[in-house]
Amino acid sequence: MSGVTAAAVQDLRQRTGAGMMDCKKALMETQGDLEKAIEFLRKKGISSADKKAGRETKQGAVVSYIHGGGRIGVLLEVNCETDFVARNENFQGFCQDVAMQVAATNPQFLDRESVPTSVLDKEKEILGEQLKSQKKPENVIEKIVQGKLEKFFEENCLLEQSFVKDPDLSIRDYTKEAISKLGENINIARFARFELGQMDK
C-alpha cells in the first residue's frame, strides 16, 4: 500500500516507541497518514494499558526534580512491575516528566478519589453561594456546580491535569501511553512539592 514504506514505519516507531508490526498495521489502517497512525496507536495503547491496570506494582523509583535554581523541589514515587523496567530510561524519563508537571502545576491531590469529602463539600458550598448571589435558578445551580467541580478536578488532581508537554493528553492518558510502551503496569503512587518560603497550611 502506498505510504507504508520501511522509512515511514521506522519514523512511526521512533515517534511512538511501538513495535514494527504495530506501526505497519497502523499505517495500513490510516492509508499511510503519519498523524492518524500516531492517534491510532495511542487509542490502541490506552486500551491495552487498561488491561494491565490490575497488575501488582512492587518495583519502581523515587525521583527528585529541582526547578528555578532551587526554589521548587519535587519528590515523586512511581511504581512498576519489575526492577528491569524501573531502570529503563523511558521509565525514568516518564518519572521526570511527571515530577516536572508537579513542579509546574502544583496539584493538590493525586486523583479525584483522594480529594477529601470535606474539601468537596466546602467547594460545593462556595460555588452554590456564588451562583445564588448571581440569581441563578435553583434547578440549574446543581448542574453548574457539577460542571465547575469537573474543572476543579482538572486543575487540582495530578492525573486529571493536562500534560504540560502535550495539552491534548491528561497525565492519566500519558501514564497509559507509558504502560503501553513499556509493557508493564505503572502507578503514580505519591508526590510532595516544596516551594521556598511556602509552608503547609
What pLDDT sits at residue 1? 43
**What is the rounded distance in angstroms from the CA atom of residue 85 to the CA atom of residue 78?**
11
* Residue 184 phi, psi (nearest 5): -135, 155
Task: With a cut of 60, say whether residue 49 has pLDDT above it.
Answer: no
Tell me the pTM: 0.70
Condensed to tens digits (0 to 9), the pLDDT of residues 12-29 reads 777 766 667 778 888 888
Q: What is the CATH number of domain 6-52?
A: 1.10.8.10
**What is the rounded distance in angstroms from the CA atom of residue 154 to the CA atom of residue 172?**
11
**What is the rounded distance in angstroms from the CA atom of residue 8 to the CA atom of residue 26?**
11
Q: Find residue 60's DSSP bridge partners.
A: 79
**What is the rounded distance in angstroms from the CA atom of residue 96 to the CA atom of residue 32?**
33
Condensed to tens digits (0 to 9), the pLDDT of residues 101-158 reads 999 999 999 999 999 999 998 988 888 888 777 777 777 878 888 888 899 999 999 9
Q: What is the CATH number of domain 116-155?
A: 1.10.286
User: C-alpha distances in angstroms, 171 versus 10, 98, 111, 136, 194?
Assistant: 27, 8, 10, 34, 20
User: C-alpha distances in angstroms, 14 versus 9, 41, 98, 163?
Assistant: 9, 13, 21, 21
Assign domain 59-110+157-195 to its CATH superfamily.
Elongation factor Ts, dimerisation domain (3.30.479.20)
Q: For the chain, what are the domain ranges? A: 6-52, 59-110+157-195, 116-155
Equal CATH topology for 6-52 and 59-110+157-195:
no
